[in-house]
Structure 1
Amino acid sequence: MEMNIILPVLAALVVGVLIGRFLLGRVFKNMEEDAKRKAKMLIKEAESSAETMKRNKVLEAKEKFLKMKSDFESESSKRKNQLSVNENRLKQYENKLKQNENKLKQKEAQLTKGLEQQKKKTQELDQRFDEIAEQKELAIKAKEEAENLRLQQVSQLEKIANLKADEAREQLVEALKDEARSKASIHIKNIMEEAKLTATKEAKKTVITTIQRTAAEHAIENCVSVFNLENDELKGKIIGREGRNIRALEASTGVEIIVDDTPEAIIISGFDPVRREIARVSLQRLVADGRIHPARIEEVVAKTRKSIEDEILELGERTVIDLGIHGLHPELIRMVGRMRFRSSYGQNLLQHSREVAKLAASMASELGLNAKQAKRAGLLHDIGKVWPEEPEVPHAILGMNLAKKYGEHPDVCNAIGAHHDEIEMTTLISPIVQACDAISGSRPGARREMMESYIKRLKELESMALSFKGVHKCYAMQAGRELRVMVDAENVSDTEAGQLSFDIANKIENEMQYPGQIKVTVIREMRAVNYAK
């Protein structure tokens, strides 16, 4: 029974084992096939990536090769160029060497030829020396024979005249001396008279020629300027409410504005041409702008004063350029420009200085002297008159000191300082400048003596008022008949202003001479200014 059960079980186990082995074989086979397929795929991917890497490496190698090739070619081309340049330089050096060799050969040939000629000349000189030696021996023999004859003749003459040779010689020499002295004195006298006559003629000729070459203008300055208006309605704007505009304009510029019945015109009166010009230009700008009030007037006058200073500098530069003067110090150029607004005895100082410069240059050229230095000294000879401060020394000395300060030549400085004989003349240019100054100032109509004394009196008036404590500004008005004095409101009270007016008038009476009477007006103005922000 048990055997019957065991046998089928064993048979079933065997069958199951066989089936399991068969199934496992199929599974292993499938796994092997999958593994082979995956291996093939991996091999293909590896081959493709290897191919890609191979191509990249090949490309990189090709690029490096091309780069190295291009670098090599560029380097080789540079070296070839350098070699070609060096070859050219070598060829040039060879050509120069050949040229130098040819020149040396030529010089050697010339030297050889010169040596041969020198030998010939040496031989000729030796022959000449021999001939001269022979002639010298003959001359010595002839001289000895002549001396013997002379001694014989002298002895014969001594016997005839009963005089020795030394005594006769002394008598003859004394007679010749007396005759020579008389003839020399007559000759010297004739030469001196002829020289004086010739010098006078030449000096007159030089002066006349110089004056004829220089064209001069008859320029007389006055003390008023006329400002023309488009219509008379503008007079009311210029005067302003209760005259505040015209008072502000006069206080800012220091001139007198005269508004009368003259149609379409206003008169600007003042002895200082710079002030008159500032007032005229300021009026012109104010009228063109249309806004006329005290604050605007002060602003425009300040701007105009600055523009006039720039114009003065430009005028000085233009003057030195016209005259061909170079290297002048900027401060001297500014003073030359200020000459335009200064007059000397009614003659415009700049025109006078230009004329003196041209005359001096022409005269120095005629006399064979330094024309440039003469022209320079002629232009600067009155530079001391435009110094802003009132000097204690004469204007010629002041001008000389200024010229020294700003590096002018000593000859030019001496000509400036000596043109009125304040110092001794040490150069020939000095009398030329002095003469040309006299020529320019002595022309008919060139100067007015009264103008100079008038301007001097007005300046003295202003400087006298400015000497008092608290005086801020001072202007002489109405041809010197009125003195307007502006004082600081913070330093001078109303009572002190009245006393100041009395003191100034009293000092003018005691220290000055003047026609008529002078009105002294002290103006004390209080201003309060604030800004809204």
Structure 2
Amino acid sequence: MTTTIIAGVICLILGALAGLLYGKSTVNAKANSILADAQKNADILLEKSNIQAEATRKEKHIQAKEKFLELKSQHDSNIQSREKKMQDSENRVKDKEQKLNDELSKAGKLEKDLDRQISDYSKKTEVIERKQQDLDKVISQKVEMLEKVSNFSAEEAKNELVEAMKAEAKSKAAAHVQNIMAEAQLNAKTEAKKIVIQTIQRIGTEQAIENSVSVFNIESDEVKGRIIGREGRNIRALEAATGVEIIVDDTPEAILLSCFDPVRREIARLSLHRLVTDGRIHPARIEEVVEKTQKMIEEEIIEVGKRTVIDLGIHGLHPELVKVVGRMKFRSSYGQNLLQHSREVANIAATMAAELGLNVKLAKRAGLLHDIGKVPEQESELPHALLGMQWAERLGETAEVVNAIGAHHDEIEMTSLLSPIIQVADAISGARPGARRQVLESYIQRLKDLEASALSFEGVSSAYAIQAGRELRVMVESGRVSDDVAAQLSYDISEKIQNEMTYPGQVKITVIRETRAVNIAR
């Protein structure tokens, strides 16, 4: 700042001198005046500069002092923090040292206790050894006394005692075996019935009822004339190609397909459907469609056989037998679908074999194949059991499976435990309520009788036979029947059913009493 002021003064002086040189002769007085003013201004500026410089110096001095105090405060704070950390570390070290001293003290006490226990154990061991020696001496003396009294040595007495115990054990074992045999004979029939009942209860499958006639529905009766054709040539060609009798009568919007062979009926039905949908119905087209449908049905038969074998977990079945299994889908026996029946027999036989500890897979295999003689491609005079046995033997099935197939209707003698299982499973599947047409009505009537028996008691509001007649659920009015009466009612209903009705297995009676409190908020 001072340098600037001095520079300004010098400039003024130089200006004055310059003015003096230019107007020396005329403005001497004026130049002197200007020079004096410049001198005064320079002195004033110099004084102001000195005052401002002094103020700046004092301000910087104060700032430096404040910075010094701030740094000193930070330094003191850091020193205090370090001292505190050092004090904390020292305290932790003292705590650990104290804990270590305590642990060492405990270890010393434990070591003293251990030494004392070892000493006590040694003393006790010595006492026991002395007592054992005394006991051995006493036993030896007693044995010598017994030998003198009985005139037997210790070894001879031992052998004599063993022989006596053997004889007694044999006697008791023989008596026990006789008791077990007698009890087994008494319980054998009961246990066999239990196995059969459990098998029936564990196997529940749907049944399919078929007949010898299929109905083909049409949109209008105008289609009948196109199916018959000119002078009946279309219907004759269709009957010749499929082997199915086609009945076109006054039945509205329906054509009947009659044939004992369900495969042929299905081929005829599908062929008719294709022909009617396509609209082109003439003998050449009929033969073409029937041929394609036959191939499609053959492929479906193989696919059904494969799927059935996979579902049942049967491996290594000959392709011809797989095809025969597939053909069962289109066969029926006493109104019961043959494939469904065979699957059911396989599952029942597997369950019974598992209960009896026999080969489950073999039982399932024999159950599936037991009726393959019912689906021959050509008519045979042999019974279906013997025909199926010949097929199975020719196609590499085991002797047990072959015998089970041939003996399930007692055409040949049974040679394995698998054969009676297949026979029983076949009978169970055929006689199962609702399985075959001739017992369906009696099965439905039995369910109605069960419900009627429960409804005959006072206080019963409704009754429902469920689980194929194995359970009867009875609803009672809570206002008229108490909990105690409900328990007695369940017993009374079971007694009435047991005394008045005939049924397979057992019937579970469940009495349900429900109390409801209903109010309406308005």
TM-score when scaled to structure 2?
0.51
Question: Which of residues 268, 289, 304 in structure 2 aligns to 1:279?
Answer: 268
Cα separation, 2, equivalents of 1:344 and 1:239: 33
Q: Is residue 342–residue 367 contact of structure 2 (8 Å, CA) maintained in 1?
A: yes
Q: Which amino acid aligns with 2:275?
A: L
> Which residues of 2 match residues 52-201 of structure 1 at below 5 A?
145-151=145-151, 190-201=179-190
SS in 1 for 2:412: coil
SS in 2 for 1:216: coil
Question: Which of residues 366, 374, 393 in structure 2 aligns to 1:404?
Answer: 393
Match of 1:377 in 2: 366
Question: Which of residues 414, 421, 438 in structure 2 aligns to 1:432?
Answer: 421
Cα separation, 2, equivalents of 1:401 and 1:219: 28
Structure 1 residue 325 corresponds to structure 2 residue 314: yes
Cα separation, 2, equivalents of 1:151 and 1:237: 119
Q: Which amino acid aligns with 1:150?
A: S
1:449, distance to aligned residue in structure 2 (A) = 7.6
Name the structure, 1 or 2, with higher relative contact order (CA <8 Å, separation 6+): 1
Q: Which amino acid aligns with 1:387?
A: P
SS in 2 for 1:407: coil
Cα separation, 2, equivalents of 1:189 and 1:358: 37
Cα distance, 1:136–1:310 mapped onto 2, change above 3 Å: farther
CA deviation map 1:110-166 (0-9, x unaligned): xxxxxxxxxxxxxxxxxxxxxxxxx999989866653431249xxxxxxxxxxxxxx
CA deviation map 1:44-76 (0-9, x unaligned): xxxxxxxxxxxxxxxxxxxxxxxxxxxxxxxxx
CA deviation map 1:450-494 (0-9, x unaligned): 9xxxxxxxxxxxxxxxxxxxxxxxxxxxxxxxxxxxxxxxxxxxx
Match of 2:253 in 1: 264
Structure 1 residue 339 corresponds to structure 2 residue 328: yes
Cα separation, 1, equivalents of 2:182 and 2:214: 57
Match of 1:307 in 2: 296
Q: Which amino acid aligns with 2:301?
A: I
SS in 1 for 2:198: helix
1:406, distance to aligned residue in structure 2 (A) = 2.0
Question: Which of residues 211, 218, 224 in structure 2 aligns to 1:222?
Answer: 211
Q: Which amino acid aligns with 2:390?
A: N
Match of 2:350 in 1: 361
SS in 1 for 2:389: helix
> Which residues of 2 match residues 388-403 of structure 1 at below 5 A?
388-403=377-392
Match of 2:496 in 1: none
CA deviation map 1:206-254 (0-9, x unaligned): 2112111111334222111111112221111001111111111112111
Cα distance, 1:138–1:418 mapped onto 2, change above 3 Å: farther
Q: Which amino acid aligns with 2:327?
A: R
SS in 2 for 1:426: coil
Which stretch of the first structure deviates more once superposed, 391-400 or 379-388? 391-400
SS in 1 for 2:382: coil
1:427, distance to aligned residue in structure 2 (A) = 2.3
Could you list the runs of 5+ residues in structure 2 that have no partner in the other structure?
Answer: 1-134, 153-159, 440-522
Cα separation, 2, equivalents of 1:136 and 1:419: 73
Question: Which of residues 210, 231, 237 in structure 2 aligns to 1:248?
Answer: 237
CA RMSD of superposed structures (Å): 3.4
CA deviation map 1:163-199 (0-9, x unaligned): xxxxxx9xxx9xxx99x98x88976664344213433
SS in 1 for 2:257: strand
1:411, distance to aligned residue in structure 2 (A) = 2.1
CA deviation map 1:244-293 (0-9, x unaligned): 11111112111111112222111111111111111101101111111111
Cα separation, 2, equivalents of 1:136 and 1:280: 101
Aligned sequence identity (%): 70
Could you list the runs of 5+ residues in structure 1 that have no partner in the other structure?
Answer: 1-134, 153-168, 451-533
Cα distance, 1:143–1:347 mapped onto 2, change above 3 Å: same
Question: Which of residues 212, 225, 242 in structure 2 aligns to 1:236?
Answer: 225
1:392, distance to aligned residue in structure 2 (A) = 3.9
SS in 2 for 1:333: helix
Cα distance, 1:327–1:137 mapped onto 2, change above 3 Å: farther
Cα distance, 1:250–1:359 mapped onto 2, change above 3 Å: same
Cα separation, 2, equivalents of 1:449 and 1:401: 31
Cα distance, 1:259–1:393 mapped onto 2, change above 3 Å: closer
Cα separation, 2, equivalents of 1:146 and 1:395: 81
Cα separation, 2, equivalents of 1:355 and 1:188: 39
Match of 1:291 in 2: 280
1:203, distance to aligned residue in structure 2 (A) = 1.9
Corresponding pairs, count: 296
Cα distance, 1:141–1:422 mapped onto 2, change above 3 Å: farther
Cα separation, 1, equivalents of 2:189 and 2:373: 33
Q: Is residue 207–residue 340 contact of structure 2 (8 Å, CA) maintained in 1?
A: no
SS in 1 for 2:270: helix
Cα separation, 2, equivalents of 1:422 and 1:285: 45
Match of 1:159 in 2: none
> Which residues of 2 match residues 509-520 of structure 1 at below 5 A?
none
Cα separation, 2, equivalents of 1:425 and 1:143: 65
Q: Which amino acid aligns with 1:335?
A: V
Cα separation, 2, equivalents of 1:270 and 1:441: 24
TM-score when scaled to structure 1?
0.50
Match of 1:514 in 2: none
1:336, distance to aligned residue in structure 2 (A) = 0.0
Cα separation, 2, equivalents of 1:209 and 1:187: 30
Match of 2:38 in 1: none
Match of 2:116 in 1: none
1:436, distance to aligned residue in structure 2 (A) = 0.3
1:438, distance to aligned residue in structure 2 (A) = 0.6
CA deviation map 1:335-372 (0-9, x unaligned): 00011112222221111101000111111112222111
1:200, distance to aligned residue in structure 2 (A) = 2.7
SS in 2 for 1:369: coil
Q: Is residue 403–residue 419 contact of structure 2 (8 Å, CA) maintained in 1?
A: yes
Q: Which amino acid aligns with 1:233?
A: E
Q: Is residue 207–residue 337 contact of structure 2 (8 Å, CA) maintained in 1?
A: no
Q: Which amino acid aligns with 2:265?
A: R
Cα separation, 2, equivalents of 1:442 and 1:333: 27
Cα distance, 1:242–1:201 mapped onto 2, change above 3 Å: same
